[in-house]
Amino acid sequence: MSGGQQKLLLRALAGETLDRPPWWLMRQAGRYLPEYRAVRAQASGFVEFCLTPGLASEATLQPVRRFGMDAAIIFADILLVPHGLGQKVEFGDDGPMLEPISEGSGIGALRRTGFSSLDPVYETVRRSRVALAPETALIGFAGSPWTVATYMVEGGASRDFRRVKAWAYRDPQGFSALIDLITEATVAYLSGQIVAGADAVQLFDSWAGVLSEAGFERWVIEPTRRVTTRLKHSFPAVPIIGFPRGAGLFYQRYAAESGVDAISIDTAVSGRFARDQLQPRVAVQGNLDPVALLVGGLVMERQVNEIRSRLAGGPFIFNLGHGVLPETSPENVAALARLLAGRVDGA
Amino acid sequence: MSGGQQKLLLRALAGETLDRPPWWLMRQAGRYLPEYRAVRAQASGFVEFCLTPGLASEATLQPVRRFGMDAAIIFADILLVPHGLGQKVEFGDDGPMLEPISEGSGIGALRRTGFSSLDPVYETVRRSRVALAPETALIGFAGSPWTVATYMVEGGASRDFRRVKAWAYRDPQGFSALIDLITEATVAYLSGQIVAGADAVQLFDSWAGVLSEAGFERWVIEPTRRVTTRLKHSFPAVPIIGFPRGAGLFYQRYAAESGVDAISIDTAVSGRFARDQLQPRVAVQGNLDPVALLVGGLVMERQVNEIRSRLAGGPFIFNLGHGVLPETSPENVAALARLLAGRVDGA
């Protein structure tokens, strides 16, 4: 359908090289926007906010309305899947807190079917899709099984990942059962988003970089491949973006083996490497330093131009290497939008 | 002097392939040892503890006494350099806290010469060297300029490094002045440790992995090269180990361009890559997952054997990919010592 396809994002994901590459920003909906803070104030808890379609779809649409990105991403959180599985999830000032599940307690208490508590997310997708212009893509997302498992086992963010890794080392079968459960839930959750109208989906593997090669293979690549295989079976036309943040030396294997259509790269991946080693296989998305967006001005402009000159000769989606920082001025995002509106010089 | 050199660590650092590779562990002196907790209790503040030679040398020697590592590393902290520069440094339960210096305040208040407040560290080196067996190497260390700068500017650990990166982006000249100051102080500090008896030194660049390639080149490789060039000029026989933790795709450039004799690799570097791409240029040190040491038993044994079978065919020092976790049982370290006492199977 590439001939009739109007959505730039989907054209890039299908492997097309474009005069003006599409763009969106991870965490483009969020605290740096005053209109986000206003709508966020209308719900008490963060989970409640994510599960109220009227509010979540408004948050989804806000940045596109203001800056005209080529894609909206559903406003939600990767920890909705543990919530859907029946784990207690709360968001405090210091980040998320979960009642951790452990090697000892195991996964017996988690829900294995049903999952209807996430139905409001599909309604958010429907409302957002209806409100968006036809040329704007809508991206659904979920965390990757490994990253979601780290939060479920550590009970929040971690520095050393010792609980989750110790479980995986001591009892790989038992830990596999947890990964399998998350994998199933993730396939169901992303399928629901696709059925409701998501044009593409992204898998966030924020903690892909803390594993050895054997661990990366088993806990990042394998579950991701299972998710992509299952989704491709049901929805062959829906592209999948993978973001194995911090994967460093393993980005190449991820591009080759995980089954994604595009790879989102963090700031520590050089444009040259991405162009030569990743882009021949998959579309590449990224990778401006969020701090360069925070700083703005010429610093941002130079880095944007360098990234585009390296990557816009192949299938490419402009994005950050990580999420928008809450301290970012919306003015800088507006300046970025103007910068990205033109053709790539010399591409 | 390689013929007469008894210290295995120095033989490996000189490029020799050994039947039994030397070993030591990052943070081998520390909270996991009851005797460390006893000696730590004798000083109130952590900085005071590091600057009391009787206590710090005892902490330095404890693990070697118990486990017989091939090297001791001076008990100290990478934030002693900011302390020496006159910045207020405190260690709380949540990690280090510094009175941050900023783009605005600049480096004017920092000391540029003198630095005598770190003299006790050299006394710790002298006492430790005297107490160690001749075949045991003594390692001095410092943080790398970039990593030390992150703490000095962020005021502690950081997630997004936005203050330090924003300064480096906005005002590279001004930020260079800070990096230069730290570089000078680091050269002086490591020289003092070498003069006092350190056989080798290690540069810890814990946050090397958060930069783009241009940033890595300018803020990691360049200052490291200045430190190694200066030290090699004064002390050509003293080997330098670099640990650019999380450097991922940039490990190779670091090995080729920073001027170190050995590179310490984190757990996310595969043995095959280290053997093929790094070991032809430098000795390799690493890289057991600290969580595998925490778990112990067969899990640890298998990973140790795999690492040795990959790397012991060239110049190699067994170590962790990061520091010993405080929750580690000393029994597991004893088991590791037994495991490492033999020749490498099949090497």
Q: What is the mean pLDDT of residues A205-225?
A: 98
Q: What is the mean pLDDT of residues B92-98?
A: 91
Distance CA B310, CA B328 (A): 25
Q: Which single residue is written with the structure tokens 């037994």? A: B338
**Residue percentage of chain B with pLDDT more than 90:** 91
**pLDDT level of residue A306 (50, 70, 90 thresholds):** very high
Distance CA A286, CA A269 (A): 9
Question: For residue A232, is pLDDT > 90?
Answer: yes
pLDDT, tens digit, 9 for 90 and up, residues B289-327: 999 999 999 999 999 999 999 999 999 999 999 999 999
Running DSSP on this structure, what letter comes out for residue B175?
A: H
For an interface test with A, the pick among B146, B161, B289, B320 (most A C-beta atoms closer than 10 Å) comes out as: B289
Distance CA B201, CA B238 (A): 8
Running DSSP on this structure, what letter comes out for residue B6?
A: -
**Strand B240-243 with B316-320, pairing:** unpaired
Is A11 among the residues known to form the active site? no
* CA distance to partner chain A, nearest, from residue B164 (Å): 10
Q: Which is nearest to B269 in space by CA: B250, B287, B252?
A: B287
What tokens appear for B312 in the block?
């012991």
Q: Which single residue is written with the structure tokens 């020697």? A: B61
Q: Say yes or no for a CB contact (<8 Å) between A249 and B270.
A: yes
Within 10 Å of residue A41's Cβ, how many Cβ atoms? 10
The verdict on A217 touching B (C-beta cutoff 8 Å) is no
Angle at B91 between CA A209 and CA B117, to 5 degrees: 115
The verdict on B268 touching A (C-beta cutoff 8 Å) is yes
Running DSSP on this structure, what letter comes out for residue B324?
A: P
Domains and their CATH numbers in chain B: 27-283 (3.20.20.210)
Q: Is the peptide bond before A287 cis (omega within 30 degrees of 0)?
A: yes
User: In chain A, where does DSSP find H-type helix?
Assistant: 8-13, 34-40, 46-50, 53-67, 80-84, 119-131, 145-154, 162-170, 172-196, 213-215, 222-234, 251-257, 271-273, 290-295, 297-311, 330-340
Catalytic residues of B: 27, 31, 40, 77, 151
**pLDDT level of residue A4 (50, 70, 90 thresholds):** low
Residue B142 β-bridge partners: B203
**Residue percentage of chain A with pLDDT more than 90:** 91
Q: What is the mean pLDDT of residues A254-261?
A: 98
